[in-house]
Amino acid sequence: MPETTRRADRLTGNRYGNRPTMKDVAARAGVGLKTVSRVVNGEPGVTPDTERRVQEAIDALGFRRNDSARVLRKGRTASIGLILEDLADPFYGPLSRAVEEVARAHGALLINGSSAEDPEREQELALALCARRVDGLVVIPAGDDHRYLEPEIRAGVATVFVDRPAGRIDADVVLSDNYGGARDGVAHLIAHGHRRIGFIGDMPRIHTAAERLRGYRAAMEDAGITVAERWMSLGATDPERVRRAAEEMLAGPDPVTAVFAGNNRVTVTVVRVLAERSRRVALVGFDDFELADLLQPGVTVVAQDSAALGRTAAERLFRQLDGTLIAPERIELPTRLVTRGSGELPPTD
C-alpha cells in the first residue's frame, strides 16, 4: 500500500483517494523510480524483463501517471483553451469540433468555456485557462479590449482570435469576409429588383455585426439607393426585439420588400414573422442553418464555413507553438451565397 500517499491524505484531505505513484510501482517491482518513469513513457534503455516486471506492478496497482506533476516538470500541458460565446449555439458546434480535431491531431486536449457575450466573463475564463497553463488559446472574443492578455502572450501562450478580431492588441485573427458576404447578399436582392431592403442585425459593437452592416450600406450605395433609417434595426439580440423590428419595417407607408438578416438567430425569427403574413417578402440571411432548404420557400443565405474557421485558427495556433510563425496575421475566409428561393422572390409593392 502507498504509505506516503495515505499520509498526505490525512494531512491535506486530498481526494485522489489512494492513488499509487511511481514510487509505489517502483517498490512493488523492486526497481528504481526512474526506471518506472522510463517504462511509462516508453523511453529506451530498459531490459524486456525489467519492463515486464514494471508493467505487472502498474497493472496490479492500477497506476496512472499524474499529468499534473508531469506538466509541472515539463512546462507544456498539451491542452488548449477555447472560449466561445455559447456552446449551445449551433454555429459554434462545427467550429469547436474542428478545433478539437486539430488539437487531437497534436495530442492536445480541449478545455472550453462560454463567455455568454460578457467581456468580464471572457477575461475571467481566459485568465483561468492561463493559470492552468494551457499551451494556447482560441478566443471568440466578447470584449473589445484584450490588453489583459499581453503578459500571457509574452509568457508564451499562443493565441488566435476567431470570428471577430482582438481589441487593442496585435494578434492572429481568422474571420469570415463579413463585409463582402453581406454586400453580395444585399446585391443579390437588389439584382432581383428590390430597392427598399431592411437590415436587422446585432449591436454594432460586435465586429461581425458592424461589418455586415457596412456591407449592406455599401451594396445599397453601389446601387444608388438611399437607406432610410427605419429600414435598419441594430441592437436586435433577443427574438422579441427582432420580431418588433421586422414588423415595424414591414408596416407603414413604404414597407420594405426584402429583409437582410444579420445572423442565423435573426434569420430564424424573421422566417417566423414572414410565415405569419400573406405578402411575400424576400429574405437573405447571414449564416447557413439546418433545414433552411426545407422551409417554404427555402431560405437563401450567405454561408460561412464555421468548421474552416475553427480548423484554420487551431492550425495557426499550433504553428505558433512550433515556432513556425512570426508576425500576427489577419486571415479572411470567403463566404458563399446559397440560393434557395427566399432571396429570389420579386418585390411586391
Which residues contribute to the site for its own copies (CB under 8 A)?
Answer: 8, 12-19, 62, 64-69, 71-77, 79, 86-90, 93-94, 96-97, 100, 104, 109-114, 127-133, 135, 151-152, 154-156, 268, 271-272, 275, 289-291, 294-296, 307, 321
Instruction: Give backbone dihedrals phi and psi of 301, rounded to 5 degrees, phi first.
Output: -135, 160
Which residues 67-96 are close enough to bind DNA by CB under 7 A?
69-70, 72-74
By C-beta, is 23 or 195 nearer to DNA? 23
What's the closest the beta carbon of residue 169 comes to its own copies, in angstroms?
14
By C-beta, is 49 or 73 nearer to its own copies? 73
Contact status: 7 vs DNA (CB under 7 A): yes
By C-beta, is 45 or 62 nearer to its own copies? 62
What's the closest the beta carbon of residue 129 comes to its own copies, in angstroms?
7
Residue type, 189: L
Q: How far is CA 95 from CA 90, 112, 179, 210, in A?
A: 9, 12, 20, 22
Q: How far is CA 98 from CA 103, 113, 125, 189, 273, in A?
A: 9, 16, 21, 32, 34
Query: How many residues of this chain bind DNA (CB under 7 A)?
Result: 36
Contact status: 27 vs DNA (CB under 7 A): no
By C-beta, is 322 or 329 nearer to DNA? 322
Angle subtended by helix axes 207-222 and 178-191, to nearest 10: 40
What's the closest the beta carbon of residue 67 comes to DNA, in angstroms?
7
Contact status: 128 vs DNA (CB under 7 A): no
Q: Is 199 helix (H, G, I), strand (E, B) or coil?
A: strand
**What is the C-alpha to C-alpha distance for residues 285 and 289, in angstroms, rounded to an integer?**
10
- Using CB atoms within 10 Å of the CB of residue 285, give its burial: 0 to 12 exposed, 13 to 18 middle, 19+ buried: buried
- Using CB atoms within 10 Å of the CB of residue 255, give its burial: 0 to 12 exposed, 13 to 18 middle, 19+ buried: middle
By C-beta, is 35 or 257 nearer to DNA? 35
- Residue 89 touches which of DNA, its own copies, none (CB < 5 to 8 A by kind)? its own copies
- Residue 289 touches which of its own copies, DNA, none (CB < 5 to 8 A by kind)? its own copies
**What is the C-alpha to C-alpha distance for residues 49 and 220, in angstroms, rounded to an integer?**
78
Comparing CA positions, the residue from 129, 128, 160, 164 lying closest to residue 143 is 164
- Residue 23 touches which of DNA, its own copies, none (CB < 5 to 8 A by kind)? DNA
Of 11-19, 181-189, 261-269, 338-346, which part binds DNA (CB under 7 A)?
Answer: 11-19
Q: Are 85 and 116 in contact (CB under 8 A)?
A: yes
